[in-house]
């Protein structure tokens, strides 16, 4: 008995000792001017040539700065970054960037145009195996170089002098500055990378905190795996006086429930995601802090157009029409999205038109039944059992079950659901080993091309087996014009052709739901790409 | 005793080797590969990455290279998903966290579970027994993914100093350790009660009572040693499982331990990391079982003579 008493005494003692500490960690960090933010998952890398995830991107954007940077006041507006100014030729396929001579790396080495040349060569180098090398394919001959089919000298990247960089593109690219907000276009410190193993060393440790050299608003302070990554101000940053806080702590919290609890327990200033099941609760308990922002992301179902009845357009159309998107969005994702009949989310002055369909859901369902009957399956008779593949995420499973029920009720057909863990799901989708696959796509840059280009025949992320020469021609026409209006019209046309052929079923455009402390955080704005510059966030005690 | 130790060590090495071999080939049979991402990689990039990490070679060649690197250079390979990090450094960072949490959890489990089991055995079929065993049953039945958020939401939010989740001060370990500890305490209590009941009905206990030994002396000095045997057998593997981390508890409390890696490395197909973790877990569980064997010998004189023979 005495042991038990002793232990209880120790436990109570430590609890009492802790009672002295009344401030939450969010309050303490706020007093120090440090922003604490949920960042979804443990970053893969801080090397812009190895990173691929959104979580990586958020950190890299604080550590490195490209030729241009995003505006903190207007979404989509591009401001000078390392480049002071730039100009392009009439066709918009040759761009010249004039670098700020004051720009330097955090170790004091001057930043020159050669650092950009080095970075682009590294990412595109055929032996480096950059996963995101495709982002640089707009550069002339970049794709051929990446595949080992030509020399680096032929690629359209040239340092005209120390502070002038000339980029020659494979076609007119009026939206180039927006592309360049993505971290794949950022420079890397050539001197540091060379000193730490060289250009092609994928195992190089130059991004570890003790070796880090960058040109962004911050430098890495500490990185504890699966715990946190913290950054502190870079004293040699070009605009160090404009940085509004004294550091950022990124917490890799995968689980949205844990994250929301941590927010309510005073551990975070901004969360990454409130899961649908907690939306009503978060809206009620944290009504001032709850945020719901539009997001450049489409949720849809891919249809394997090379399999069974899905080869028939009428069947694909019937499946599309039978889904009641309003109730899907209201009941399954609890309002965290906008029902959609088109693929590309609205934004950047673009809106595609859906193919004409009846106005009310009842009429749409009647038409769906009629189309299915015309395809040879009246009331679903004789329709083979198809499989709907989803990931094991709760929302996706519930959505699949809801749609399964809608198809059963409206069309009289039965669909099996196969829930896979993520890698197996992705492998099956990319190898087209599925009938219907639950999918999502988020934009890399604020331009409809990041969505519409998906549907090129044989494109790597098409994965539906569908393709049409007309759609390809419209996409090629969009790539071939320097006129923004014309380009938009071509992209719209391409998307409409795709929607008419229905290789996918658009479901909704998702919205980001998260919590943000109004007490501690100001200056924050919503961004379609969730890429608000974190150095513009003010942290108040 | 030395012979027993040597025999157990040899058996342990064989077990770890077989475990690692099976894991090596099984993870390579899973669909997908470590480089799959949201966007499909061009064929030439995929080939380049496979070549870079030697995954383009046959599984058998990879297997021999893997052991060669471990035995000659102590190199457990790189992480294939978090490139630039070594498997050994990932484990070295996460293991101390899990170890600390495991020791605390085990401490709570022993301190709560064993006395509770003894008390229940002593008061067999009376109200303390019923209450304790009901509590133990609840502890066993309510899964960690319910206990952990409930603790976080109640104690974590309202007891000053305790933390909902996270790992930024020493007191952050209290709730995860409590969750792990109480669940194991429930098992321990039931095992101890069973073991004690068996011992309490034996002849030598009647002799002890007849000699006039007090209740505490009867329980602690005479009965505990034999009554603990089932609990001790359970403790070894349970301790190994605790210090290698629990995915659920680490996820619910945002603890940077090993449990997260076990699940994430598997879903990410981070081959070398899975192999490193399995090797680590294998060695720990074999080691823990060895210690249990030795402890059982110490507790049970009959085993000692068998071992000597």
Determine the residue of chain B that is closest to A28 in CA distance.
Answer: B168
* Closest partner CB to B36 (pick from A227, A257, A426): A426
Query: In chain A, how many H helices and how many E strands?
Result: 17, 18
Hey, are the CB atoms on A17 and B161 less than 8 Å from each other?
yes
Q: Among partner residues A3, A18, A207, which is closest to B160 by beta-carbon distance?
A: A18
CA distance A95 to A87: 6
Contact A265 B42 (CB under 8 A): no
pLDDT at B308 > cutoff 70: no
Using pLDDT thresholds of 50, 70 and 90, give the confidence band for residue B309.
Answer: very low
Chain B from 173 to 232: CB within 8 A of any A CB = 174
| Residue A219 in this model has a pLDDT that exceeds 90 | yes
C-alpha distances out from residue B39 to A102, A129, A463, B207, Å: 37, 14, 11, 75
Cβ-count burial of A53 within 10 angstroms (0-12 exposed, 13-18 middle, 19+ buried)? middle
Which whole number is the average pLDDT over A339-352?
91
Alpha carbons A258 and A262: distance in angstroms, whole number: 6
Helix, strand, or coil here: A148?
A: coil
- pLDDT score of A27: 93
- Count Cβ atoms within 10 A of the Cβ of residue A409 and give its class: 0-12 exposed, 13-18 middle, 19 or more buried: exposed
Percentage of the residues of chain A whose pLDDT score is greater than 70: 96
Counting Cβ atoms within 10 Å, is residue A229 exposed (0-12), middle (13-18) or buried (19+)?
A: buried
Residue B84 has pLDDT above 90, yes or no: no
Q: What is the pTM of this model?
A: 0.91
Task: Quick: pLDDT tens for B237-285.
Answer: 888 888 887 888 999 999 999 988 888 899 899 999 999 999 998 998 8
Band of residue A197 on the pLDDT scale cut at 50, 70, 90: very high
Confidence of residue A10 (pLDDT cuts 50, 70, 90): low
Q: Which residues of B touch A148 (CB under 8 A)?
A: 44
Residue range A184-207: mean pLDDT, rounded = 94
Give the whole-angstrom CA distance, residue A446 versus residue A430.
Answer: 25
Q: Where are the alpha helices (DSSP H) in chain B?
A: 2-29, 43-52, 59-68, 87-122, 127-141, 144-151, 157-158, 174-200, 203-211, 215-217, 224-227, 229-243, 247-253, 258-268, 271-299, 301-308
Decide if A44 and B83 are in contact by the 8 Å CB cutoff.
yes
pLDDT recorded at residue A14: 52
Cα angle A442, A419, B251 (rounded to 5 degrees) comes to: 75
Angle at which helices B144-151 and A256-264 cross, to 10°: 20
Name every chain B residue with its beta carbon within 8 A of the beta carbon of A463: 40
Residue A84 C-alpha from the chain's centroid: 27
Q: Find all residues with CB under 8 Å of A443, minimum gap 6, and list them.
A: A296, A297, A345, A450, A451, A528, A529
Helix %, strand %, coil % of chain A (to 5): 35, 20, 45
In tens, the pLDDT along A116-144 reads 999 999 999 999 999 999 999 999 999 99
Query: Comparing A180-184, A242-246, A485-489, B292-296, which segment has the lowest mean pLDDT?
Result: B292-296
Contacts of B174 in chain A (CB under 8 A): 11, 14
Dump strand ranges (E) for A145-289: 157-161, 164-168, 218-224, 228-233, 248-251
| Measured distance CA(A488)–CA(A346) in Å, rounded | 13
The least confident of A4-8, B94-98, B135-139, B265-269 is: A4-8
Q: A173 touching B, CB under 8 A?
A: no
What is the dihedral angle through the alpha carbons of A143, A147, A150, A153, rounded to the nearest 10 degrees? 60
Q: Which of residues 297-316 of A touch B (CB under 8 A)?
A: none
Whether the complex's predicted ipTM is more than 0.90 is answered with no
> Which residue in A14, A255, A427 is closest to B36 by CB distance?
A427
Least Cα distance to A505 among A393, A384, A388, A424 occurs for A388
pLDDT exceeds cutoff 80 at B196:
yes
Please report how the helices B87-122 and B127-141 are oriented relative to each other, as an axis angle in degrees rounded to 10: 160
* Residues contacting A6, CB < 8 A, separation 6+: none
Lay out the sheet containing A248-251: strands in order across: A35-38, A248-251, A228-233, A218-224
State the pLDDT at residue B241: 83
Write down the pLDDT at residue B19. 95
Higher pLDDT, A30 or B235: A30
Q: What mean pLDDT do residues A246-260 have?
A: 94
Q: What pLDDT does residue A30 have?
A: 96
**What pLDDT is stored for residue A514 in this prediction?**
96
Query: Confidence class of residue A11 from pLDDT cuts 50, 70 and 90?
Result: low
Average the pLDDT over A411-415 and give the result. Answer: 96
Residues from chain B that touch A39, judged by Cβ atoms under 8 A, are none
Could you give the maximum distance between any two Cα atoms of chain A, in Å? 88
User: What is the tens place of the pLDDT at every residue in A149-170?
Assistant: 999 999 999 999 999 999 999 9
Contact of B243 with B284, CB cutoff 8 Å: yes
């Amino acid at each position: 008995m005495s042991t038990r008493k002793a232990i209880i005494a120790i436990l109570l003692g430590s609890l009492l000792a802790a009672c002295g500490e009344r401030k939450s960690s969010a309050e303490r960090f706020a007093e120090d001017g440090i922003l604490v933010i949920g960042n979804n998952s443990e970053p893969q890398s801080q090397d812009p040539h190895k990173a691929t995830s959104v979580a990586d991107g958020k950190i890299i954007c604080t550590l490195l700065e490209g030729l241009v940077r995003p505006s903190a006041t207007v979404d989509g507006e591009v401001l000078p970054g390392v480049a002071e100014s730039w100009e392009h030729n009439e066709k918009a396929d040759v761009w010249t960037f004039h670098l700020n001579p004051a720009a330097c790396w955090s170790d004091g080495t001057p930043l020159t145009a050669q650092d950009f040349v080095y970075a682009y060569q590294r990412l595109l180098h055929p032996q480096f195996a950059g996963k995101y090398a495709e982002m640089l394919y707009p550069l002339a001959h970049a794709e051929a170089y990446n595949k080992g089919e030509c020399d680096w000298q032929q690629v359209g990247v040239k340092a005209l002098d120390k502070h002038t960089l000339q980029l020659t593109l494979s076609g007119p690219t009026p939206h180039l500055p927006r592309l360049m907000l993505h971290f794949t276009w950022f420079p890397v410190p050539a001197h540091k990378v060379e000193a730490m193993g060289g250009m092609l060393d994928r195992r190089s440790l130059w991004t570890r905190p003790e070796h880090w050299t960058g040109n962004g608003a911050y430098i890495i302070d500490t990185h504890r795996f699966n715990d946190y990554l913290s950054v502190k101000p870079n004293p040699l940053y070009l605009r160090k006086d404009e940085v509004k806080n004294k550091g950022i702590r990124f917490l890799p919290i995968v689980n949205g429930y844990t994250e929301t609890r941590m927010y309510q327990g005073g551990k975070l200033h901004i969360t990454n995601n409130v899961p649908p099941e907690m939306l009503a609760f978060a809206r009620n308990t944290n009504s001032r802090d709850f945020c719901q922002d539009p997001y450049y992301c489409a949720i849809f179902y891919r249809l394997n157009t090379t399999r069974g009845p899905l080869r028939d357009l009428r069947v694909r159309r019937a499946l599309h029409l039978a889904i009641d998107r309003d109730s899907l969005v209201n009941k399954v994702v609890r309002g965290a999205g906008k029902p959609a009949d088109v693929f590309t989310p609205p934004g950047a002055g673009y809106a595609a038109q859906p193919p004409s369909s009846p106005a009310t859901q009842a009429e749409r369902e009647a038409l769906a039944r009629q189309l299915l009957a015309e395809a040879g399956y009246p009331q679903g008779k004789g329709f083979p059992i198809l499989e709907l593949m989803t990931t094991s995420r709760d929302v996706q499973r519930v959505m699949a079950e809801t749609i399964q029920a809608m198809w059963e009720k409206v069309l009289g057909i039965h669909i099996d659901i196969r829930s896979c863990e993520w890698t197996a799901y992705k492998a099956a989708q990319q190898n087209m080993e599925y009938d219907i696959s639950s999918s999502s796509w988020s934009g890399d840059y604020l331009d409809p091309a990041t969505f519409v280009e998906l549907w090129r025949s044989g494109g790597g992320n098409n994965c539906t087996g569908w393709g049409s020469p007309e759609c390809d021609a419209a996409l090629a026409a969009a790539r071939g014009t320097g006129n923004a209006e014309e380009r938009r019209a071509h992209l719209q046309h391409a998307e409409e052709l795709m929607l008419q052929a229905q290789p996918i079923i658009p479901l909704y455009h998702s919205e980001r739901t998260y919590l943000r402390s109004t007490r501690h955080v100001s200056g924050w704005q919503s961004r379609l790409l969730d890429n608000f510059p974190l150095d513009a966030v003010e942290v108040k005690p | 005793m030395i012979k027993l130790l040597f025999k157990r060590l040899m058996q342990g090495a064989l077990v770890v080797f077989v475990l690692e071999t099976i894991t090596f080939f099984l993870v390579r049979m899973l669909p997908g590969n470590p480089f799959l991402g949201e966007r499909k990689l061009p064929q030439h990039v995929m080939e380049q990455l496979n070549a870079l990490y030697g995954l383009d070679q046959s599984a058998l060649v990879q297997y021999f290279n893997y052991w060669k690197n471990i035995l000659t250079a102590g190199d457990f390979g790189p992480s294939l998903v978090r490139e630039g990090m070594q498997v050994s450094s990932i484990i070295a960072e996460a293991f101390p966290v899990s170890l600390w949490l495991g020791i605390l959890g085990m401490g709570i489990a022993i301190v709560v579970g064993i006395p509770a089991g003894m008390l229940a055995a002593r008061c067999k079929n009376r109200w303390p027994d019923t209450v304790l065993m009901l509590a133990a049953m609840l502890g066993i039945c309510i899964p960690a993914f319910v206990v952990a958020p409930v603790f976080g939401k109640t104690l974590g939010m309202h007891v000053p100093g305790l933390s909902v989740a996270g790992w930024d001060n020493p007191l952050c370990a209290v709730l995860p350790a409590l969750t792990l500890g109480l669940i194991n305490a429930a098992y321990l209590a039931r095992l101890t009660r069973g073991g004690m009941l068996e011992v309490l009905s034996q002849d030598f206990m009647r002799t002890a009572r007849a000699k006039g030994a007090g209740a505490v002396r009867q329980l602690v000095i005479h009965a505990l040693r034999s009554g603990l045997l089932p609990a001790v057998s359970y403790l070894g593997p349970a301790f190994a499982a605790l210090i290698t981390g629990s995915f659920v508890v680490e996820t619910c409390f945002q603890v940077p331990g090993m449990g997260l890696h076990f699940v994430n490395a598997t879903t990410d197909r981070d081959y070398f990391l899975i192999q490193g973790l399995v090797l680590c877990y294998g060695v720990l569980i074999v080691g823990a079982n060895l210690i249990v064997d030795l402890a059982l010998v110490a507790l049970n004189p009959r085993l000692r003579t068998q071992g000597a023979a």
